[in-house]
Structures are given as C-alpha cells and as structure tokens.
Amino acid sequence: MSDGDGKEAPGGSDDGAPTEVVGRPAAGAPIEEPKLRRRPFGRAEELVSELSLGTWGLSGDAYGPVYHKEVDRVIDKAIDHGITLFETADTYGEGSMERKLGERLDADEHKIVTKIGTFLLEDPPRKKFDEASLAEAFDKSQERIGRDRLDVVLLHNPSVKAIEAGEATALLKRKVKDGALRYWGVSCGSPEVVEAALEAGADVIELPYNLFHQGWLHGMADEIASSDTAVLARSVLFHGLLAGHWARTKVFFDNDHRSKRWTKDELKYRLAQLPAVRQLVGGDVLTLRAAALRFVLANGLVTSAVLGPRSVTQLNQLVSEAGKEPPYLPDEALASLPERLRAVGVEV
C-alpha cells in the first residue's frame, strides 16, 4: 500500500523559536509581538506565520458546500490569529477564492499563494503548462486577486516533463524579473517533481507532509536545506484521518473527495495504523490532532503548515493545539516514532 498523497527551510531555527519580526517600531515605541510564531520564507528576507490558511475546503470543492458567511468568518478569524499566509488556486471555487482573498486581505500584511496550470472548465479538464496557457491563467489570477504584483504563484501539480520542458518555469521567472511576481514555485505531486522543482531553482515548493507521509520531504532534506527553498506542508492531518475520530465504518458523501481517495479496505488499513502515533498524545499534547500538527511544525525545513479548516471552530482548535512555544513534541516521543511507524507499514 502506498503512503503517497500525490493527488493533490531551512531558514527557520532548528527548534522553531520565534525570530525577530521585520518592520519593528522606532526605538522607544511599544512592541507588539506577532500572535503566531513566524519563520523565514525560504531565501527571502521576510517572515511568514508558521500556520497558513488553505482554502480548498472552504471553496466547497473538496468536502462539499460551505456557507459563504462562514468562509468570510474563517478568513477574518485567521487574520485575527495572526496568520499571514493564505493558500489557494485559480480552480478553487472557479476562481472565487482568489477574488475573496484579494478583497479581504491587506496586501502589505498578507501573502497569497495561488496555483495555476489546471483547467477544469475545459472539456475534458486537463493540465496545461505551455507558455500561452499559463500566461493567460496568470493574468486572470492577477485580475481576480487585484494586485499588480502577485506574492507567490505555483505550478499546480505539473509532471517532471512539464518542468524540464522549461516553458512554465521560464514564464514565471520572467514574471519575477518584470516585477509582476515576487516568488515562483511548484505544488508537487510526486517526489520526482520535488527534485525537478529544486533543480529548476523554485523559490517555494508545496508538498504533502504528515505523520503517515514523510518520505518526500525527508528524502530531499539535504537538497532543500542547501537551496533554502521555502516549504509549504499540505495535508498535515491527512484529510482528517489524523484527527483520530473516525470509526472503521466511516462513509463519505459522494461530493467529498475522500470517497474516491480511499477504498473501504484502504481506509480500514489506515485507521489500523493510528495506534502507532497515539503515544505522541500526553502532557500538553491533548489530542491526536494536536500531535499531528506539532509533528509537522517540529521539522525545521517546514516554512508553514497549510491548514484546511471549514469553520471558525476548527480553525480555533488548530491554532490552540499548535502550542504556544517549542518544543512541539517531546524528544523521546519523536525518537521512538520511526520504529513504531515502520512496524505498521508507514515509510519514514
């Protein structure tokens, strides 16, 4: 059974301690510390919150509809918590999430990470990474977000061939040079794509990273460290599995992507692996969900963990459970974790 989630650095201190915030007030003025810890954004001389808000779930595309007022409340609450990085794609809600983030976020305070290269409205839906298609997609994202200069644009799960062809990467590099884009990168759907993105000089990579999916990041750790590439970790709760609340008879609605992600037997197999990580719960780590999130944050290569809450309640829980300060998890618990995971078939 594969541990992959292919469907969809350092720069931080080793222990994840808060780093001095850029843009300090003048000497003598009161200093307001950020509400969330921040980490350096790869090679950039700026900081972002170590928790970021992903919007796939909010768009209604992933798990079913979300009431539009709740979407607004989640975004506003993320701002209140001190989240400074917001992740989306031009396909989420057919572009509506890009527009909403552009309207509700302060361009000076909040970065928007968007993704292009997936064309769902075409018949049939397809991936396109030629220069003309991406240039058009870039312009449409820029219009919806409403910023003359976009913060971060990622190629949305391209193949190795698409990266190595060079059209897509050349376009985004030119956008950076021309001042229309600050950073470019790749949302990766395989470890081979991670490697190709790093070789192409990506400023940012996004990849799945969680207790049950460690191999891609760990396998490229040296390359990521030497390149100072920013790493956005998605699927930190493995689409809810690592919250630890599901029964073995769990059934998903048809409009929930998880109904197609796992067969009944695959889901039972995954649920049977959970006892291997429950030993991380203890002390101030009160839930398996907290342990899963803190595991991601404990890796100094991770710039920001992309959260996917669909309600204010879920967001508040995640922010609270991330903890107030390192260490994220006890060293002894982390030391014994690989052996326990290997025993249940998880590749580490």
Helix (H) or strand (E) holding 221: helix 221-227
E strands, the chain, are: 38-40, 47-49, 51-54, 85-87, 111-116, 118-119, 126-127, 150-156, 181-187, 204-208, 230-234, 304-307
What pLDDT is attached to residue 18? 31
Instruction: Quote the CA–CA distance of 308 and 57 in Å, as a whole number.
Output: 6
Does residue 320 lie within any of the structural domains? yes
SS3 28: coil
Domain with 214 in it: what CATH number?
Answer: 3.20.20.100
Q: Cβ neighbours of residue 49 under 8 Å, at least 6 residues apart?
A: 34, 36, 37, 38, 82, 83, 84, 85, 304
Whether 124 maps to a domain, the answer reads yes
Q: Which domain holds residue 63?
A: 38-240+299-325
pLDDT of residue 324: 80
**First vs last C-alpha separation in the chain:** 14
Q: Is residue 252 part of a domain?
A: no
CA atoms within 13 A of residue 67's CA, in its CB half-sphere:
5
Residues 6+ apart with CB under 8 A from 177: none
pLDDT at site 8:
44
Cα 31 from Cα 24, distance rounded (Å): 7
Please check whether residue 203 lies inside any domain of the structure.
yes
- Structurally, how many domains does the chain consist of? 1
Beta-bridge partners for 155: 116, 186
**Tens of pLDDT, residue by residue, the chain (348 residues):** 434 444 443 233 233 333 333 333 344 444 444 589 999 999 998 999 999 999 999 999 999 999 999 999 999 999 999 999 999 999 999 999 999 999 999 999 999 999 999 999 888 889 999 999 999 999 999 999 999 999 999 999 999 999 999 999 999 999 999 999 999 999 999 999 999 999 999 999 999 999 999 999 999 999 999 999 999 999 999 999 999 999 999 999 999 999 999 999 999 999 999 999 999 999 999 999 999 999 999 999 999 999 999 999 999 999 999 988 899 999 999 999 999 999 999 988
Q: Does 109 reside within a domain?
A: yes
The crossing angle, in degrees rounded to 10, of helices 96-104 and 68-81 is 50
Whether 291 is covered by a domain: the verdict is: no
